Amino acid sequence: MTNSDAQRGRLLLEESAEIVAVVDAAGRVVLCSRRARVEGVEQGQLLPEHLAGAERVTVTYEIDGEAESLVYFGVPGALAAYEELRTGFTAAVSHELRTPLARLLVLLESADLPGSDVPALLERARGEVNQVSELIDEVLFLSQLETGQEVVGLGDAVTYPILADVAAALRERAERAGITVVVEGDERLELPMRARMQRVIAENLVENAIRYAGEGATLTLSVGRVGSDAVLSGRDDGIGVGEADIPRLFERFYRADRARSSRGTGLGLSIVKHIVVAAGGRVEASGGEGRGLEVRCSFPS
Protein backbone atom coordinates (compact mmCIF):
# COMPACT_ATOMS: atom_id res chain seq x y z
CA MET A 1 0.00 0.00 0.00
CA THR A 2 1.41 3.41 -0.97
CA ASN A 3 1.40 6.45 1.31
CA SER A 4 -1.29 7.98 -0.89
CA ASP A 5 -3.47 4.89 -0.47
CA ALA A 6 -2.99 5.03 3.30
CA GLN A 7 -3.92 8.71 3.39
CA ARG A 8 -7.03 8.08 1.31
CA GLY A 9 -8.06 5.24 3.62
CA ARG A 10 -7.50 7.33 6.74
CA LEU A 11 -9.52 10.24 5.31
CA LEU A 12 -12.33 7.90 4.22
CA LEU A 13 -12.60 6.41 7.70
CA GLU A 14 -12.21 9.78 9.47
CA GLU A 15 -15.05 11.41 7.53
CA SER A 16 -17.42 8.44 7.71
CA ALA A 17 -20.89 9.25 9.05
CA GLU A 18 -20.99 5.79 10.69
CA ILE A 19 -19.52 4.46 13.95
CA VAL A 20 -16.29 2.92 12.63
CA ALA A 21 -13.02 2.20 14.44
CA VAL A 22 -9.69 0.47 13.88
CA VAL A 23 -8.49 -1.45 16.96
CA ASP A 24 -5.22 -3.22 17.63
CA ALA A 25 -4.71 -6.74 18.99
CA ALA A 26 -5.14 -5.44 22.57
CA GLY A 27 -8.48 -3.87 21.69
CA ARG A 28 -7.27 -0.28 21.84
CA VAL A 29 -8.50 2.23 19.29
CA VAL A 30 -5.93 3.16 16.65
CA LEU A 31 -8.19 5.31 14.51
CA CYS A 32 -11.88 6.16 14.48
CA SER A 33 -14.46 8.20 12.61
CA ARG A 34 -15.77 11.57 13.76
CA ARG A 35 -19.14 9.93 14.35
CA ALA A 36 -17.47 7.38 16.63
CA ARG A 37 -15.83 10.16 18.68
CA VAL A 38 -19.23 11.72 19.27
CA GLU A 39 -20.22 8.34 20.77
CA GLY A 40 -17.29 8.46 23.19
CA VAL A 41 -14.73 6.41 21.23
CA GLU A 42 -11.20 7.74 21.86
CA GLN A 43 -7.88 6.90 20.22
CA GLY A 44 -5.54 5.01 22.51
CA GLN A 45 -8.41 3.82 24.71
CA LEU A 46 -10.50 0.66 24.83
CA LEU A 47 -13.91 0.84 23.21
CA PRO A 48 -16.49 2.39 25.60
CA GLU A 49 -18.69 0.02 27.58
CA HIS A 50 -21.95 1.16 25.98
CA LEU A 51 -20.73 -0.28 22.66
CA ALA A 52 -19.74 -3.63 24.18
CA GLY A 53 -23.06 -5.27 23.33
CA ALA A 54 -23.54 -3.53 20.00
CA GLU A 55 -23.95 -5.44 16.77
CA ARG A 56 -20.85 -5.14 14.66
CA VAL A 57 -19.07 -6.25 11.53
CA THR A 58 -15.36 -6.96 12.10
CA VAL A 59 -12.66 -7.35 9.45
CA THR A 60 -9.28 -8.55 10.77
CA TYR A 61 -6.04 -8.05 8.85
CA GLU A 62 -2.30 -7.55 9.33
CA ILE A 63 -0.10 -4.52 8.65
CA ASP A 64 3.65 -4.94 9.03
CA GLY A 65 3.03 -8.16 10.93
CA GLU A 66 0.68 -6.50 13.45
CA ALA A 67 -2.95 -7.64 13.72
CA GLU A 68 -5.65 -4.99 13.51
CA SER A 69 -9.41 -5.04 13.11
CA LEU A 70 -11.75 -2.68 11.31
CA VAL A 71 -14.97 -2.58 13.33
CA TYR A 72 -18.27 -1.19 12.04
CA PHE A 73 -20.95 -0.80 14.70
CA GLY A 74 -24.69 -1.14 14.29
CA VAL A 75 -26.35 -0.61 17.66
CA PRO A 76 -29.30 -2.98 18.28
CA GLY A 77 -32.52 -1.13 17.67
CA ALA A 78 -30.59 1.69 16.05
CA LEU A 79 -33.43 2.72 13.77
CA ALA A 80 -35.87 2.79 16.66
CA ALA A 81 -33.40 4.75 18.80
CA TYR A 82 -32.79 7.20 15.98
CA GLU A 83 -36.52 7.66 15.48
CA GLU A 84 -36.95 8.27 19.22
CA LEU A 85 -34.16 10.84 19.18
CA ARG A 86 -35.58 12.55 16.09
CA THR A 87 -39.05 12.68 17.60
CA GLY A 88 -37.73 14.07 20.88
CA PHE A 89 -35.64 16.68 19.11
CA THR A 90 -38.60 17.76 16.98
CA ALA A 91 -40.79 18.05 20.07
CA ALA A 92 -38.13 20.13 21.84
CA VAL A 93 -37.76 22.49 18.88
CA SER A 94 -41.54 22.85 18.66
CA HIS A 95 -41.73 23.69 22.37
CA GLU A 96 -38.93 26.25 22.14
CA LEU A 97 -40.57 27.92 19.13
CA ARG A 98 -44.04 27.96 20.69
CA THR A 99 -43.05 30.28 23.59
CA PRO A 100 -41.74 33.27 21.57
CA LEU A 101 -44.51 32.83 19.00
CA ALA A 102 -47.13 32.95 21.76
CA ARG A 103 -45.57 36.12 23.16
CA LEU A 104 -45.45 37.60 19.66
CA LEU A 105 -49.16 36.94 19.18
CA VAL A 106 -49.99 38.64 22.50
CA LEU A 107 -47.94 41.69 21.52
CA LEU A 108 -49.63 41.99 18.13
CA GLU A 109 -53.09 41.64 19.66
CA SER A 110 -52.20 44.26 22.28
CA ALA A 111 -51.30 46.70 19.52
CA ASP A 112 -55.01 46.81 18.54
CA LEU A 113 -56.12 47.91 22.00
CA PRO A 114 -57.08 51.58 22.55
CA GLY A 115 -54.25 53.66 24.00
CA SER A 116 -51.58 51.03 23.37
CA ASP A 117 -47.95 52.08 22.87
CA VAL A 118 -47.59 50.67 19.37
CA PRO A 119 -43.89 51.57 18.80
CA ALA A 120 -42.88 49.91 22.10
CA LEU A 121 -44.96 46.82 21.33
CA LEU A 122 -43.44 46.56 17.85
CA GLU A 123 -39.93 46.80 19.32
CA ARG A 124 -40.67 43.93 21.70
CA ALA A 125 -42.20 41.97 18.80
CA ARG A 126 -38.96 42.40 16.83
CA GLY A 127 -37.13 40.88 19.78
CA GLU A 128 -39.37 37.81 19.69
CA VAL A 129 -38.83 37.44 15.93
CA ASN A 130 -35.07 37.70 16.45
CA GLN A 131 -35.23 34.92 19.05
CA VAL A 132 -37.10 32.64 16.66
CA SER A 133 -34.58 33.42 13.92
CA GLU A 134 -31.65 32.69 16.27
CA LEU A 135 -33.17 29.36 17.31
CA ILE A 136 -33.72 28.29 13.69
CA ASP A 137 -30.16 29.26 12.74
CA GLU A 138 -28.66 27.29 15.64
CA VAL A 139 -30.81 24.22 15.00
CA LEU A 140 -29.72 24.21 11.34
CA PHE A 141 -26.06 24.71 12.30
CA LEU A 142 -26.18 21.88 14.84
CA SER A 143 -27.79 19.64 12.23
CA GLN A 144 -25.00 20.45 9.77
CA LEU A 145 -22.40 19.59 12.39
CA GLU A 146 -24.03 16.26 13.20
CA THR A 147 -24.40 15.22 9.55
CA GLY A 148 -20.89 16.34 8.60
CA GLN A 149 -22.12 19.01 6.17
CA GLU A 150 -20.25 21.65 8.19
CA VAL A 151 -16.57 20.68 8.27
CA VAL A 152 -14.75 21.35 11.54
CA GLY A 153 -11.19 20.34 10.69
CA LEU A 154 -9.18 20.99 7.52
CA GLY A 155 -6.29 22.83 9.14
CA ASP A 156 -5.13 24.63 12.26
CA ALA A 157 -5.54 28.28 13.18
CA VAL A 158 -3.90 30.56 15.76
CA THR A 159 -6.48 31.03 18.51
CA TYR A 160 -5.60 34.17 20.49
CA PRO A 161 -6.45 36.69 17.71
CA ILE A 162 -9.80 34.97 17.22
CA LEU A 163 -10.63 35.28 20.93
CA ALA A 164 -9.60 38.94 20.93
CA ASP A 165 -11.74 39.64 17.87
CA VAL A 166 -14.79 37.95 19.38
CA ALA A 167 -14.33 39.82 22.67
CA ALA A 168 -14.18 43.13 20.79
CA ALA A 169 -17.21 42.32 18.64
CA LEU A 170 -19.35 41.37 21.65
CA ARG A 171 -17.99 43.95 24.11
CA GLU A 172 -20.97 46.31 23.77
CA ARG A 173 -23.48 43.52 24.44
CA ALA A 174 -21.40 42.30 27.36
CA GLU A 175 -21.20 45.78 28.89
CA ARG A 176 -24.97 46.19 28.66
CA ALA A 177 -25.30 42.97 30.68
CA GLY A 178 -22.67 44.14 33.18
CA ILE A 179 -20.13 41.52 32.02
CA THR A 180 -16.41 42.18 31.53
CA VAL A 181 -14.62 40.03 28.94
CA VAL A 182 -10.85 39.46 29.28
CA VAL A 183 -8.59 37.57 26.84
CA GLU A 184 -5.30 36.00 27.90
CA GLY A 185 -2.89 33.21 27.06
CA ASP A 186 -0.43 32.05 24.43
CA GLU A 187 -0.69 34.41 21.46
CA ARG A 188 0.90 31.88 19.06
CA LEU A 189 -0.80 28.61 20.00
CA GLU A 190 -2.81 26.88 17.27
CA LEU A 191 -5.81 24.61 17.74
CA PRO A 192 -6.78 21.85 15.26
CA MET A 193 -9.87 23.58 13.88
CA ARG A 194 -10.79 26.02 11.18
CA ALA A 195 -10.81 29.64 12.33
CA ARG A 196 -14.57 29.83 11.77
CA MET A 197 -15.21 26.93 14.15
CA GLN A 198 -12.97 28.48 16.81
CA ARG A 199 -14.92 31.70 16.44
CA VAL A 200 -18.23 29.87 16.93
CA ILE A 201 -16.89 28.32 20.16
CA ALA A 202 -15.68 31.68 21.49
CA GLU A 203 -18.93 33.43 20.58
CA ASN A 204 -20.99 30.80 22.37
CA LEU A 205 -18.82 30.99 25.49
CA VAL A 206 -19.18 34.78 25.64
CA GLU A 207 -22.91 34.71 24.93
CA ASN A 208 -23.41 32.05 27.60
CA ALA A 209 -21.74 34.34 30.15
CA ILE A 210 -23.75 37.36 28.98
CA ARG A 211 -27.00 35.47 29.53
CA TYR A 212 -26.27 33.54 32.68
CA ALA A 213 -23.19 34.76 34.63
CA GLY A 214 -24.95 37.72 36.21
CA GLU A 215 -24.20 41.44 36.41
CA GLY A 216 -20.71 42.28 37.66
CA ALA A 217 -19.12 39.02 36.50
CA THR A 218 -15.87 38.77 34.54
CA LEU A 219 -15.41 36.18 31.79
CA THR A 220 -11.85 35.18 30.96
CA LEU A 221 -11.26 33.61 27.55
CA SER A 222 -7.88 31.90 27.56
CA VAL A 223 -5.77 29.64 25.39
CA GLY A 224 -2.64 27.79 26.45
CA ARG A 225 -1.10 24.44 27.27
CA VAL A 226 -2.01 22.28 30.23
CA GLY A 227 0.44 19.39 30.24
CA SER A 228 0.49 18.03 26.71
CA ASP A 229 -2.98 19.39 25.87
CA ALA A 230 -3.82 22.61 24.07
CA VAL A 231 -6.71 24.16 26.00
CA LEU A 232 -9.28 26.83 25.14
CA SER A 233 -11.43 27.85 28.08
CA GLY A 234 -14.07 30.32 29.13
CA ARG A 235 -14.10 30.96 32.89
CA ASP A 236 -16.40 33.37 34.69
CA ASP A 237 -16.73 34.34 38.35
CA GLY A 238 -20.50 34.80 38.21
CA ILE A 239 -23.44 33.21 39.98
CA GLY A 240 -22.57 29.73 38.71
CA VAL A 241 -24.87 26.72 38.41
CA GLY A 242 -25.86 23.92 40.74
CA GLU A 243 -23.64 20.84 40.94
CA ALA A 244 -26.49 18.70 39.60
CA ASP A 245 -26.81 20.91 36.51
CA ILE A 246 -23.16 20.77 35.43
CA PRO A 247 -23.24 17.30 33.76
CA ARG A 248 -26.27 18.36 31.70
CA LEU A 249 -25.05 21.72 30.42
CA PHE A 250 -24.08 20.29 27.02
CA GLU A 251 -27.51 18.72 26.37
CA ARG A 252 -29.65 20.30 23.69
CA PHE A 253 -32.09 22.88 25.08
CA TYR A 254 -31.01 22.24 28.66
CA ARG A 255 -31.04 25.28 30.93
CA ALA A 256 -30.69 25.37 34.69
CA ASP A 257 -33.77 26.51 36.61
CA ARG A 258 -32.48 30.04 37.20
CA ALA A 259 -31.73 30.40 33.47
CA ARG A 260 -35.12 29.37 32.14
CA SER A 261 -36.35 32.96 31.94
CA SER A 262 -33.45 33.79 29.63
CA ARG A 263 -34.00 34.36 25.92
CA GLY A 264 -31.20 31.93 25.10
CA THR A 265 -31.83 28.93 22.83
CA GLY A 266 -30.22 26.32 25.09
CA LEU A 267 -28.10 25.12 22.15
CA GLY A 268 -24.89 27.13 22.56
CA LEU A 269 -22.91 24.69 24.72
CA SER A 270 -24.26 21.73 22.75
CA ILE A 271 -22.79 23.31 19.61
CA VAL A 272 -19.49 23.85 21.45
CA LYS A 273 -19.37 20.16 22.43
CA HIS A 274 -20.06 18.91 18.90
CA ILE A 275 -17.35 21.11 17.38
CA VAL A 276 -14.74 20.14 19.97
CA VAL A 277 -15.47 16.40 19.79
CA ALA A 278 -15.50 16.44 15.98
CA ALA A 279 -12.03 18.03 16.10
CA GLY A 280 -10.73 15.21 18.30
CA GLY A 281 -10.96 17.07 21.60
CA ARG A 282 -13.00 16.81 24.78
CA VAL A 283 -15.06 19.36 26.66
CA GLU A 284 -15.95 19.60 30.33
CA ALA A 285 -17.60 22.06 32.68
CA SER A 286 -16.83 22.83 36.29
CA GLY A 287 -17.97 25.27 38.96
CA GLY A 288 -20.91 25.54 41.31
CA GLU A 289 -23.42 27.96 42.80
CA GLY A 290 -21.64 31.17 43.71
CA ARG A 291 -18.38 29.85 42.21
CA GLY A 292 -18.86 30.75 38.57
CA LEU A 293 -18.56 28.40 35.60
CA GLU A 294 -15.64 27.18 33.53
CA VAL A 295 -16.00 25.44 30.17
CA ARG A 296 -12.73 23.83 29.12
CA CYS A 297 -12.01 22.51 25.61
CA SER A 298 -8.90 20.30 25.51
CA PHE A 299 -7.06 18.95 22.47
CA PRO A 300 -4.30 16.34 22.84
CA SER A 301 -1.06 16.99 20.98
In tens, the pLDDT along 272-300 reads 888 888 788 899 999 888 889 999 999 98
More confident residue, 116 or 150: 116
More confident residue, 18 or 25: 25
Cβ neighbours around 146 below 10 Å, total: 15
What is the CATH architecture of 78-147?
A: Orthogonal Bundle (1.10)
User: Is the pLDDT at 183 greater than 60, yes or no?
Assistant: yes
pLDDT in tens, 93-106: 555 566 667 777 88
Q: Taking the domain 3-74, which CATH number applies?
A: 3.30.450.20
pTM across the whole model: 0.56
pLDDT at 145: 59
**CA separation for the pair 114, 124 (Å, rounded):** 18
Asked if the domains at 3-74 and 78-147 fall in one CATH topology, the answer is no
Find the Cα–Cα–Cα–Cα dihedral 137, 140, 145, 150, rounded to 10°: -80
Please enumerate, as own/partner, the contacts of 36-45 that have beta carbons within 8 Å and a separation of 24 or more. 36/73, 37/277, 37/278, 37/280, 38/146, 38/274, 38/277, 38/278, 42/282, 43/280
**CA separation for the pair 37, 14 (Å, rounded):** 10
pLDDT in tens, 125-171: 887 777 676 666 666 666 655 555 444 555 688 999 999 999 999 99
Q: Residue 201's closest CA among 157, 263, 254?
A: 157
Domains of the chain, by residue range, sit at: 3-74, 78-147, 157-300
Angle between helices 195-212 and 160-169 (to 10 degrees): 40
**CA separation for the pair 39, 59 (Å, rounded):** 21
**CA separation for the pair 286, 226 (Å, rounded):** 16
* CATH value of 157-300 in 3.30.70.1380, 3.40.50.720, 2.60.40.3080, 3.30.565.10: 3.30.565.10
pLDDT in tens, 246-261: 888 887 666 554 444 4
Give me the amino acid identity at 26: A
Per-range mean pLDDT, top range of 50-64, 99-113, 227-241, 251-265: 227-241
- DSSP, res 47: P
pLDDT at 163: 96
**CA separation for the pair 101, 259 (Å, rounded):** 19
Buried b / exposed e over 84-101, threshold 16 CB at 10 Å, is: eeeeeeeebbeebeeebe
User: Is the pLDDT at 238 greater than 90, yes or no?
Assistant: yes
**CA separation for the pair 226, 185 (Å, rounded):** 11
pLDDT at 84: 47
pLDDT at 96: 57
Q: Residue 103's closest CA among 118, 121, 79, 91?
A: 121
pLDDT at 255: 57
- DSSP, res 18: S
User: Is the pLDDT at 216 greater than 90, yes or no?
Assistant: yes
Task: Please enumerate in sequence order all residues whose Cβ is within 8 A of that of 187, keeping only pairs 6 or more positions apart, or say none.
Answer: 158, 160, 161
pLDDT at 79: 45
Average pLDDT over residues 62-77: 76
Find the Cα–Cα–Cα–Cα dihedral 234, 236, 239, 242, rounded to 10°: 40
